[in-house]
A and B are shown apart, each in its own frame.
Chain A
Amino acid sequence: MASIFQGVGATTALSSSTSIDTKKFQLSSRRFFSVRRASFVVVRSGGDKRDSGSNRIGGRADQLVTNAVATKADTPAASTASKPGHELLLFEALREGLEEEMERDAHVCVIGEDVGHYGGSYKVTKGLADKYGDLRVLDTPIAENSFTGMGIGAAMCGLRPIIEGMNMGFLLLAFNQISNNCGMLHYTSGGQFKIPVVIRGPGGVGRQLGAEHSQRLESYFQSIPGIQMVACSTPYNAKGLMKAAIRSDNPVILFEHVLLYNLKERIPDEEYVLNLEEAEMVRPGEHVTILTYSRMRYHVMQAAKTLVNKGYDPEVIDIRSLKPFDLYTIGNSIKKTHRVLIVEECMRTGGIGASLTAAITENFHDYLDAPIVCLSSQDVPTPYAGTLEEWTVVQPPQIVAAVEQLCR
């Protein structure tokens, strides 16, 4: 199922650098691929129109999240919700997506530490073990390498496991399984086996959790061929991406953030699945393209408020898909604004921003009026002290300063 939506995303990208009449191509191909069912909606986040100046995206542009670590966001529902939905927190949205998929397909199961009886260390799987039993929501011993391997083996044999790392950093122990077996098996077996696993867990810098519990693994995993990586940032996209990831026949790593689990948002009642390879237009603008993902989205939106007051009009895109990049959306934005700022939580060296900078330079060099600025976390282990920890990650004042510098 998800491949139809991926097909939509992929086919429309065909027109990224060549054809001029992209909108026409995009709509016609979507008609070809779209599948309509009674209670089922294909959602392309950010709505149809990507043209400049169009502020039709649900009024989001004017409602900025002011709190950097948004615990309570009052953003209205996303583009397609015509009737009011229901409000919930991000971890509940993840759970809802998970539960709907487990209901839909009996092969979907969850494997992880403390996911069953305990309900998940961040309550994402709460109540599921009571409903589906101990075998479908499997509590494992502390053995990341082997239970990740187990999940992959089960996927080879037809199941669709969701492997939870209690903290993304623990999955470093399973790197061999994720890289060699998960990413490469489809290729080395000549297409015989598919590995429809979802590897998910919270990562990122939290509240003084210490160096080893504040890791950003997206930079380590990004070179592994054969996997897809997505990062969720709002309850709406968390649920959509979770469902898309489960339905995908490819291995998907879903990066959540420890500090975003309590974000509240109103999401649609009807079922929806998001496109795994698509970026989200958070705030359209004219002057500069700010690319970000996960928690830094909120820092950027906070900085955007300041910037708007100062007279700038930043376009904020939540890239969501970390592998592969949605160069279609990003490219269109760059062609409009000609300036790029990347704000990420990864380390400076070898991070997602570094790859994105390279990809943009390679493809859109002629459209840039200024060098790409990339704000990332410092190349240090995350310190425990609160003040120091604050300065390892990018803060809104730095974003404001960078935009001012860029737009001079």
Chain B
Amino acid sequence: MALARRSSNLLKPLSTASSSSSFLNRRPFSTDDSTTITIETSVPFTGHNCEPPSRSVDTTPKELMNFFTDMALMRRMEIAADSLYKSKLIRGFCHLYDGQEAVSIGMEAAITKKDCIITAYRDHCIFLGRGGTLLESFSELMGRQAGCSRGKGGSMHFYKKDACFFGGHGIVGAQVPLGCGLAFAQKYRKEDHVTFAMYGDGAANQGQLFEALNMAALWDLPAILVCENNHYGMGTAEWRAAKSPSYYKRGDYVPGLKVDGMDAFAVKQACKFAKEHALKNGPIILEMDTYRYHGHSMSDPGSTYRTRDEISGVRQERDPIERIRKLILAHDLATEKELKDIEKLARKEVDEAIAKAKESPMPDDPELFTNVYRKGFGVESFGTDRKEVRATLP
């Protein structure tokens, strides 16, 4: 009857970066792409039915700086969304991703824009990672015309077709069969790309996930199922929802890999490994051990089911941006001040984007009826009674 709160083992000690195998000149704000730095991930990978990849990840100074800049931007965006929500410019549900940025960044570093990503509702940063702009994000959150879904989707429905980002889904679990469908289409058309279907530890208990996994394994679809395990399914801790919290092992015959999701390089290595595996052998499950600082959504304070000490503890020990900052400083790629400047720049960019987004108008009234159906050739769209013309579709 283990209903007592178990001690949190989320505060795993990090081993600081070591074994830098290259010789670096001290350069301000290095954008060097040619020097290789080798970084050790914080903890080794744990594999299930597969050989885990090595802990050493190659990177360049440019990539390190990009990681920092992009993650700072993402973090800033989510904090800004928090205050926008509190000032009632964003309504409804707003699920924030701060703390989990490393998953998005690491994944993008390992794949191309032709590989598909599909996720549930915690999609703002993944959209940004796929190439979405801040203006599109904030406009969509505020329901304006300049939004990525023209203001009609909202926080949970960000999509970017040209970057193969398929959203953005409100009902958790449903995106995983969709993701396997994307992988099916990739296999059907004999493309050399993979699909990352992301879900959380809460959705990991959905039946359709296992159905989809069975089919993906049956037909060797290039699908990679990524469980972003932030240990809480809304208010329910993982040990209260799942008999087996080893989500990477749940595939049984499907291999799995457990990854420290707060370490962008571990994520990068794992995604690279997974992509190679999926193209040859079919599906694989990646479990990203990560953490969210905010509550489940803006309506959840996030402190009724976990202690503030836990949250601040993780922030101190495992914060992804801090980790990159320490790496950059250790490798002398930039000074403290420069990093602070980058963060200030991020803040400025976000503020500008918000100001611009506020200027964007709300959708026009006829937009209520557009995009319900897809027709073409100058056809008019009627209401269900076909009596009056509601909109003329392009």
Contact = CB atoms under 8 A, between A and B. Distances in A.
Nearest to B383: A324
B184 A154 contact: yes
Contacts of A149: 174, 176-178, 180-181, 208, 212
Contacts, number: 194
A146 B151 CA distance: 29
Given A325-B386, A363-B387, A141 B218 contact: yes
B239 interface: no
A181 B378 CA distance: 26
Contact of A148 (B166, B177, B214, B376): B177
Nearest to B371: A191
Contacts of B387: 16-17, 327, 363
A156 B374 contact: no
Given A7-B375, A194-B374, A324-B386, A153 B118 contact: yes
Interface string B170-201: 11001011111110111111000000000000
A323 B370 CA distance: 17
A387 interface: no
B247 to A, nearest CB: 18
Contact of A153 (B161, B166, B378, B389): B166
Q: Describe B's contact surface by its main secondary structure.
A: loop
A67 interface: no
B375 A6 contact: yes
B218 A181 contact: no
Interface string B202-213: 000001100110
Interface stretch (A80-88, A182-190, A255-263, A289-297): A182-190
A58 B222 CA distance: 53
A33 B180 CA distance: 39
A349 interface: no
Given A143-B215, A189-B167, A327 B174 contact: no
B157 interface: yes
Contact of B181 (A145, A153, A226): A153
Contacts of B168: 188-189
B174 A176 contact: yes
B345 interface: no
B178 A325 contact: no
Contact of A147 (B177, B375, B381): B177
B149 interface: yes
B190 to A, nearest CB: 10
B380 A10 contact: yes
Contact of A177 (B159, B177, B382): B177
Contact of A157 (B159, B174, B185): B185
B379 interface: yes
A397 interface: no
B178 A150 contact: yes
Contacts of B134: none
B211 A327 contact: no
Q: Describe A's contact surface by its main secondary structure.
A: helix
Interface residues of B, number: 60
Contact of A191 (B157, B160, B187, B370): B370
B279 to A, nearest CB: 17
B116 interface: yes
B384 interface: yes
Given A146-B208, A150-B215, A362-B385, A157 B375 contact: no
A28 interface: no
Contacts of A135: 187-188, 219
B370 A150 contact: no
B149 A192 contact: yes
Nearest to B184: A154
B46 to A, nearest CB: 27
Given A180-B170, A188-B152, A153 B179 contact: yes
A250 B374 contact: yes
A104 B168 CA distance: 33
B377 A226 contact: no
A353 interface: no
Interface of B: 116, 118, 147-154, 157, 159-161, 166-171, 174, 176-182, 184-189, 207-208, 211-212, 214-215, 218-219, 370-382, 384-387, 389
Interface of A: 3-4, 6-7, 10-11, 13-14, 16-17, 33, 109, 135-136, 138, 140-141, 143, 145-159, 176-177, 180-181, 185-194, 225-226, 228, 249-250, 323-328, 359, 362-363
9 contacts: A7-B375, A150-B212, A156-B182, A157-B185, A159-B189, A181-B174, A185-B167, A189-B167, A325-B386
Given A158-B185, A188-B168, A190-B149, 9 more contacts: A3-B379, A146-B208, A147-B215, A149-B181, A150-B177, A156-B181, A177-B177, A186-B371, A189-B167
